[in-house]
Amino acid sequence: MKRIVILGGGFGGVAAAAYLDRAFRHDTAVEIVVISDTNFMVYTPMLAEVAGGTIEPRHAVPPIRSFLKKAHFREAGVLAIDPKNRTVQLDLGNGARGQLSYDYLLIALGAVTNFAHATGAAEHCTGLKDLFDAFFIRNRALTMLERAETTNDPQLRRELLTFVVAGGGYSGVEGIAALEDLLHGALRFYPGIRPSELRLILAPHGPRLLEEIDPRLGEYVVEKFQRRTIDVRLGVGITAVTERSATLTTGEVIPSRTVIWTAGIKVNPVLHGVTLPKNKHGALTVNGYLQVTDHPTIFALGDCTAVPLPEGQGFYAPTAQNAIREGAVVGKNIARLVRNKSRLQTFTYKPIGSMASLGQRQAVAQLGGLRLSGLPAWFAWRGAYLAKLPNWSDRIRIGLDWITDLFAPVDIVQIPVDRRSRLTPSFTPSSPLAASAPGTGSGEKQPS
């Protein structure tokens, strides 16, 4: 029996798992196990709309199990990888630890928000990287409106009603646009707040927005935002954040209780202690077949990996588009190794294009040589992302969310959650569920 273990249930991990699931559906000599710390995959292009309340959080996160027929899914946190002994250490929740051995391993653990560039950012900012962040931002925005309604203190109102976003990439642009829609749409329920009291500031640090696409589209976004209520500070970043303020690189101190950090990602910290070849940023280094350097049975992809461009100069960008294609190639290559075939496939891919939603039925899109903006780009954005959803039920759910949003007023219900209490597996070490986890059952599970 050969066991293939996939760490991470994001775009790359799920794409590889889906390929292997099909390839070995009827092969009883191969076991596939997917490990991830949530039982859903986050459809990140929809996160800004979750933060803005246009899409229900559940609708942006398809369950990983729905992609798998043969493969086993196990909700667990990866604690460590031991390449020498071919094992992975797992946190099974409620204090239980497990160990899983593998014959072939895929590391697809992604990245986390990098708050390192500003003092206090890690303590006082939220990212826009996962479902919890998006959920938190929506609740936070509504809480600020509720608090502002109950105070006449002008300084406090200014802090509560000022929202700052750091970063001018897709997450920053889409995040602030969705936040603006939410806040202005909600104001009809808050008669004590004047629209002019709301301040939204985008500090991209760089001289442009959306640096990955045609500069003309970036300029279009700046112009649109400035005409709305979003104050874009090109070339300005954030140096420090406190509970009540953000200090800009210009020295200006902005009073604000809500600073959203989208200015950078870093490799998943789980990989810090892993003794596999990495570059200076901590990303795993791989060859063109996506095998980790000098480890032919370990593969890596996506945001935690430096995937070399075929020309040998530079690396593929950390995008879902790339991670999905990398996942399919890893799936193929592992299947070939399992079947003792020597020729592996090299990963090459040219991105189709990119798009950013700007709220208010506006977007920008660059598809090959074609540039779109405004309403046509917005239709293209929604059409493309709806089509890319994994199944019809998700498409229907999100389609209905969008239709509801066209006609219904903004929903201002707050659902307070403690964002530190990430979901953990609810089973106990002695429960039958824990014992039946492949590779974590008899003999291998080690309750701590």
State the residues that interact with ligand FAD by CB under 6 A: 8-13, 35-38, 44-45, 47-48, 77-78, 108-110, 128-129, 170-171, 268, 270, 302-303, 318-321, 323
Six token digits for residue 115? 């708050």
Tell how far CA 433 is from the center of its chain.
Answer: 29
Q: How far is the CB of 188 from ligand FAD (least distance, A)?
A: 27
Nearer to ligand FAD, 51 or 183 (CB): 51
Asked if 237 and 263 count as a contact pair (C-beta separation under 8 A), the reply is: yes
Asked if 70 and 42 count as a contact pair (C-beta separation under 8 A), the reply is: no
Nearer to ligand FAD, 190 or 385 (CB): 385
Nearer to ligand FAD, 106 or 118 (CB): 106
- Residue 7 host element (H or E): strand 2-7
Q: How far is the CB of 190 from ligand FAD (least distance, A)?
A: 27
Q: How far is the CB of 194 from ligand FAD (least distance, A)?
A: 30
Nearer to ligand FAD, 87 or 245 (CB): 87
User: Which residue of this chain has its Cβ atom nearest to ligand FAD in the complex?
Assistant: 10
Sheet strands side by side (includes 96-101): 77-82, 87-93, 96-101
Q: How far is the CB of 157 from ligand FAD (least distance, A)?
A: 29
Q: How far is the CB of 299 from ligand FAD (least distance, A)?
A: 12
DSSP secondary structure, 131-166, as one string: HHHHHHHHHHHHHHHHHHHT---HHHHHHHTEEEEE
Start-to-end CA distance of the chain, whole Å, equals: 28
Q: Which amino acid is at 434?
A: A
Who's near 430: CB < 8 A, 6+ residues apart? none
Asked if 176 and 203 count as a contact pair (C-beta separation under 8 A), the reply is: no
Q: How far is the CB of 356 from ligand FAD (least distance, A)?
A: 8
Instruction: Report CA-CA distances (Å) from 293 to 106, 296, 297.
Output: 13, 8, 10
Nearer to ligand FAD, 161 or 165 (CB): 165
Nearer to ligand FAD, 40 or 225 (CB): 40
Nearer to ligand FAD, 255 or 425 (CB): 425
Q: How far is the CB of 206 from ligand FAD (least distance, A)?
A: 17
